[in-house]
């Protein structure tokens, strides 16, 4: 019996806990091959295995039943950037910030907004949730072009490759993206990149009502300004804002921002003040704002209440680091209604919710403040899940919510197939047991 790869194991402590479960052992493999040997050794021992990257999502997903071995990917940090091909391949442990900085030097980026600060590429992939800038280039799943994964039995397997166009073989990276490491441990991944846009505009429009929000979103849909993000932000207390991000050339974003102000202004002016969409509209450019997109401060005077800046707001895309997070997916045209519905449900149970996310995509996140009871979370989920075509899954729950056995996932179409895949790739169900829907303990629902 081989012990290769297990030699560097240390004992786990409270800081290593995954959803409150302290691992028995922790290992930090130095490369993919070592990771393979490590998992082969764990397989021989029948150990359960969980993964940690930056440690920012250890409280995400379901609570694992046991963690015999925690794999720390912190040493799998390498970046292989083919700038000419707009492709990068990175080790799973590479901090997202480091990747971003490296790519920026070549004028490129991985076009997703991380939702947690301090995370790694592996964690980004395993949780699979990204922020609002997804309208032009999609989400992480649309950008991963290849992945190397270590299977539960320690076998290293690759799918995809390092070219942007490739249809050879199954796209298994899609299954691992958002799979919480339950089908294998991600060792590295290759991504398609995009050029960093030379200029950026962010429009901030206050939304007086749900109707106004719906109108503004519909008007944006009909326009051809091609935003990178349309983010709805419904703060506790009911104040709502729409953030529209435009990316492009400096001359381009300027003109598109004017157009967007006009479109939003017309949509928002219907109620409340004045004449909808009256002539002038395209806002007069502020003095001293002569199109130098690099100007440090160029906030414009609000036009129709719409404020234009050339910077993303602080903490753009980041989700709260405390409390419960519910991912709410709805048909895009229902985004405003969904945010309103969440708020109503929150009012009914006496808790202040914040709903943010890509309104254009229908991809929202409802943030519940820390301390909300399991019963409150359960009622919220029930209320959100009762609408046909909506799905609500808990991204992160507090320990008492786990303990109460709240159903984090709701109905998951295709679950039997997902379980069959799990059975095939991890027959012993040793990879993070309990962390993902495929081994939700209480679920007995099956496909017809």
Partner 1 sequence: MTETAHPIPAAVAALVPRLRRICGGDGVLTDASRRRVYESDGLTRHRAVPGVVVLPTTAEQVTAVVRLCAETGVPFVPRGAGTGLSAGALPHPEGVLLSTSRMRRIIEVDPDNECAVVEPGVANLDVSRAAAPYGLYYAPDPSSQQVCSVGGNVAENSGGAHCLKYGFTVDHVRGLDVVTPQGALLRLGGKAPDAPGHDLIGAFVGSEGTLGIATRITVGLTRLPERTVTLLSAFTSMDAGGRAVSAIIAAGVLPSAIEMMDALAIEAAEAAVACDYPAGAACVLIVELDGPAVEVEAELAEVVRLCASAGAFETRTAADADERARIWKGRKSAFAAVGRISPAYIVQDGVVPRTALPEVLRRITELSAESGIRVANVFHAGDGNLHPLVLFDDAEPGAAERAEEVSGAILDLCVEHGGSITGEHGVGVDKACKMPRMYSPDDLETFDLFRRALDPRGIANPDKLLPTPRLCGEVPGVRRGAHPLVESGEAEQF
Assigned token pair, 175:
């299954």
101 burial (CB, 10 Å; 0-12 / 13-18 / 19+) is exposed
Q: Interface with partner 1 includes 378 (CB under 8 A)? A: no
Q: Least distance from C-beta 254 to partner 1, angstroms?
A: 8
Look up residue 354 and give its DSSP letter: E
Kindly state the helix (H) or strand (E) to which residue 232 belongs, with its residue range: strand 229-234
Structure tokens of 275?
């004449």
Interaction of residue 203 with partner 1, rule CB under 8 A: no
Nearer to partner 1, 74 or 357 (CB): 357
Candidates 57, 202, 219, 330: give the one binding partner 1 (CB under 8 A).
330
Site size for partner 1 (CB under 8 A): 88
Which residue of 11, 101, 104, 251 would you call a contact of partner 1, by CB under 8 A? 251
Residue 242 or 418: which CB sits closer to partner 1?
Answer: 418
Interface region with partner 1, contact rule CB under 8 A, candidates 43-51, 117-125, 272-280, 436-444: 436-444
* 421 part of the interface to partner 1, by CB under 8 A: yes
The answer to the question of residue 104 lying near partner 1 (CB under 8 A) is: no
89 φ, ψ to 5°?
A: -120, 135
- The phi, psi pair for 336, rounded to 5°, reads -65, -40
Interface stretch with partner 1, choices 50-58, 201-209, 254-262, 288-296 (CB under 8 A): 254-262
The answer to the question of residue 284 lying near partner 1 (CB under 8 A) is no
CB of 292 to partner 1, least distance (A): 16
In whole angstroms, how close is the CB of 158 to partner 1 at the nearest point?
Answer: 5
**CA 208, CA 268: separation in Å to the nearest integer?**
8
Number of continuous H segments (helices) and E segments (strands) in the chain: 11, 19
Binding to partner 1 in span 68-97, by CB under 8 A: 82-87
Q: How many CB atoms lie within 10 A of CB 5?
A: 20
| Inter-CA distances, 166 with 145, 146, 162, 178, Å | 8, 9, 9, 21
The answer to whether 114 and 96 are in contact (CB under 8 A) is: yes
Closest-CA residue to 158 (of 120, 187, 181): 187
Q: How far is CA 395 from CA 140, 356, 408, in A?
A: 17, 14, 8
Contacting partner 1 (CB under 8 A), which of 3, 221, 239, 311?
221
CA distances from 189 to 13, 158, 196, 335 (A): 29, 9, 21, 32
Binding mask 336-365 for partner 1 (x = CB under 8 A): -------------------------xxx--
Stretch that binds partner 1, among 27-35, 251-259, 292-300, 397-405 (CB under 8 A): 251-259
Interacting residues with partner 1 between 113 and 172 (CB under 8 A): 128, 138-139, 141-142, 151, 155-159, 161-172
CB of 413 to partner 1, least distance (A): 5
């Amino acid at each position: 019996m081989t012990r290769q790869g297990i030699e560097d194991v240390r004992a786990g402590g409270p800081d290593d806990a995954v959803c409150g479960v302290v691992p028995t052992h922790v290992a930090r493999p130095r490369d993919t091959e070592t990771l393979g040997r490590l998992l082969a050794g764990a397989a021989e021992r029948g150990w359960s295995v969980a993964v940690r990257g930056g440690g920012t999502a250890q409280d995400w997903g379901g609570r694992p039943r046991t963690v015999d071995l925690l794999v720390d990917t912190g040493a799998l940090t390498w970046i292989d950037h083919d700038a000419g091909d707009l492709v990068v391949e990175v080790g799973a442990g590479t901090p997202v910030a480091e990747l971003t900085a490296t790519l920026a030097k070549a004028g490129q980026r991985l076009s997703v907004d991380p939702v947690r600060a301090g995370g790694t590429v592996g964690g980004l992939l395993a949780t699979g949730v990204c922020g609002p800038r997804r309208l032009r280039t999609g989400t992480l799943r649309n950008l991963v072009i290849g992945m190397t994964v270590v299977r539960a039995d320690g076998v290293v397997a690759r799918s995809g490759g390092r070219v942007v166009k490739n249809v050879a073989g199954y796209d298994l990276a899609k299954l691992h993206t958002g799979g919480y490491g339950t089908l294998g441990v991600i060792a590295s991944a290759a991504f398609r990149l995009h050029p960093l846009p030379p200029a950026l505009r962010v429009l901030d429009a206050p939304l007086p009502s749900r109707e106004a929000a719906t109108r503004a979103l519909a008007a944006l849909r009909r326009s051809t300004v091609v935003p990178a993000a349309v983010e709805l932000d419904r703060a506790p207390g009911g104040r709502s804002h729409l953030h529209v991000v435009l990316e492009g050339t400096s001359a381009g974003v300027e003109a598109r921002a004017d157009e967007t102000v006009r479109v939003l202004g017309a949509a928002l002016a219907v109620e409340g003040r004045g004449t909808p969409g009256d002539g002038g509209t395209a806002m007069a450019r502020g003095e001293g704002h002569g199109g130098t997109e690099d100007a440090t401060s160029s906030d414009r005077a609000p036009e129709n209440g719409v404020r234009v800046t050339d910077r993303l707001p602080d903490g753009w895309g980041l989700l709260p680091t405390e409390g419960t997070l519910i991912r709410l997916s709805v048909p895009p045209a229902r985004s405003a209604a969904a945010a309103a519905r969440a708020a109503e449900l929150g009012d009914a149970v006496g808790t202040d919710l914040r709903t943010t996310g890509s309104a254009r995509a229908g991809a929202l996140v409802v943030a519940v403040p820390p301390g909300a009871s399991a019963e409150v979370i359960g009622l919220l989920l029930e209320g959100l899940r009762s609408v046909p075509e909506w799905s609500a899954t808990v991204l992160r729950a507090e320990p008492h919510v786990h303990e109460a056995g709240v159903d984090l996932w709701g109905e998951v179409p295709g679950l039997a197939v997902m379980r069959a895949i799990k059975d095939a790739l991890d027959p012993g169900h040793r990879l993070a047991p309990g962390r993902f829907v495929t081994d939700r303990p209480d679920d007995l629902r099956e496909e017809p």
